[in-house]
Amino acid sequence: VDTIVQKGTKTTQPTLWFSMDEGLPHQLFIAIDKVIFIELSKPSHLHGILVLLAVYFAFDLCYDKRQEIIFRFFEEFVLGIRPAKKSARYSKLCKRLMPEISEQ
């Protein structure tokens, strides 16, 4: 797994990695700077996303510009953190993914 993470990671930012077994997540890892930082004890996608967000918050890290919009989406629709102001690009994503909720 270490070799796969090192070769497959194109960023030093925290990333979520998982292995699948019969279509379900089997093992989940958070990698930072191309090294496995932690193996998660609960193999679920939602748990992995929550821990990944917690790593960003705990270490006071900025999101990678290429991934920022999806992390903002997770903050709002998974954690319930409403942004004070939405960028046009983020508003467009929200309308596309959650049209009935984003209009409120």
Residue 82 has pLDDT above 70, yes or no: yes
Say if residues 41 and 30 touch (Cβ distance below 8 Å).
Answer: no
DSSP character for 98? -
Residue 88 has pLDDT above 70, yes or no: yes
Amino acid 54: pLDDT: 95
What global pTM score does this model have? 0.79
Which residues, in sequence order, are CB contacts of 45 under 8 Å at separation 6+?
18, 25
Reported as a single tens digit per residue, the pLDDT across 4-47 is: 777 777 778 899 888 777 776 678 899 998 888 999 988 788 89
Q: Are 53 and 71 in contact (CB under 8 A)?
A: yes
> Crossing angle for the helix pair 45-58 and 68-77, nearest 10 degrees?
110
